[in-house]
Amino acid sequence: METKDKAAQLRKHKRLATGLFLLMVAIYSMSTWMLHHQPGGWVEYIMAFSEAAMVGALADWFAVTALFHHPLGIPVPHTNLIEKSKKNIGDNLGNFVTGNFLTPQSMRPYITKLRVSSYVADWLSSEKNKHLLLEQITTLLRDILRRIDDAAATDFITRKGAELLGNVRLSDITANTLQYFIEKGDHEQLITALATRIKGYISGNKPVVQEMVKKESYFFIPKFVDNKLAEKITTGLVHYFEEIENNHGHPLRAEITAQLTQLVTSIKTDPEWAAKFEEIRSGLFNSNNVQQYANDIWRLLKQTLLEELGHPASTIILYFSGAIHEFAADLKEDIRLQQKIDGWIRHTAYKYILKNRENVATLISNTVANWEGRELSNKLELEVGKDLQFIRINGTLVGGLIGLLIYTLTDLLSR
């Protein structure tokens, strides 16, 4: 109910209680006038009733008004209690809530009924909701990326990169990489590719071989002999590299493998190799270079992520969409997953609420204490003032009945 409606109801009930009091005043005045002209009789009983009713009405009006205001604006002691006692009210209200509502006994029945997983599963069963969730996730991630300070991100990558690269031994990395390729036999593919390229180069450049033979030949050797010799050399080389290309057991392959294995051992054990790689590492990863690398990495990463998150058909969006769809299906069908999620939520909620009971009490107490006294008084009067007017009404009627009873007993006893 809105504040305006509550205020209207409060005014209505105040008028009703005040109207009843005024009615008793009128009855009392009328009965007094009647007794003055015709003493005795039933009028005395009406007068006793109305007189006591007025006293009861005034007493209860004073009591009710004293809670929220000074009656008639007169600062009578122990009146305007709400405004004067707001701190105690806040403390007592906070303690009341935590002591009666946030206890293990009162919370446990409600906590055990929590079925968040079912609600989430039903909510995610709608394609519209899935799309909404995906949209919110991507918007949040893009907003986070935009808010990240580029200089701070670059400095972080620089520091972590410097720490990582400070412990890097390029010689070990190089040696282990070569050893891995040798053990996997991947270097054989490189030998095959090189043999094929060399064979193709020689076959396609026979005139070059001929010119070289002529250049190195003696002047008295006939030209046709040089050409024949060049052709034999070219054909021999082509056949040789063709054998290397097709024969995986060729001696040259074994020789290359042996040389690479020896190189791995030398890189791992020879101090000269270690010194060479350390020199390379120092040149590549000095402080200026690392900062530049970090800046380039962050700029590229941020730009790529923003572009991916902004494109509905990007890989990352499709991944998120698939993950949400898969999670929704699992949550709807997997009972164990539902029980696990609900159990975790119940445990967390139960633990968190109990852990923060005192904080709740403090929050309520501080909130009430920070309200203006008049504001608090007005708030409470709007909430309960309507019902308190019935105290005035009941006080008027009950007071009148008690007064009538006392008068009747007195009259009977006096006879």
Q: How confident is the model at residue 1 (pLDDT cuts 50, 70, 90)?
A: low
Are 134 and 319 in contact, with CB atoms under 8 Å apart? no
> Which pLDDT tens digit goes with each residue over 31-79?
888 887 776 678 888 888 999 999 988 998 888 888 777 777 777 777 7
Paired tokens of 188: 């054989």
In the structure, what pLDDT confidence band is assigned to residue 26 with cuts at 50, 70 and 90?
very high
Q: Do 195 and 277 touch, CB atoms closer than 8 A?
A: no
One-letter amino acid at 366 equals N
Higher pLDDT, 140 or 169: 140
d(CA 334, CA 339): 9
Query: What is the SS3 string spanning 113-139?
Result: CCCHHHHHHHHHCCHHHHHHHHHHHHH
- Which helix (DSSP H) or strand (DSSP E) does residue 51 occupy? helix 43-68
Residue with tokens 């906070």: 94
Phi and psi at 359, nearest 5°, equal -65, -35
Each residue's pLDDT tens digit, 261-293? 888 888 888 888 777 776 666 665 566 677 787
* Length of the chain measured in residues: 415
In 3D space, the residue among 166, 46, 85 whose CA is nearest the CA of residue 377 turns out to be 85
222 alpha-carbon distance from chain centroid: 89
The pLDDT tens digits of the residues spanning 146-189 come to 998 888 888 888 777 766 666 667 677 778 888 888 888 877 88
Parse the chain into domains and list their residue ranges. Answer: 3-97+371-414, 170-284
Question: Between vectors from CA 379 to CA 375 and to CA 382, what angle results, nearest 5°?
Answer: 135
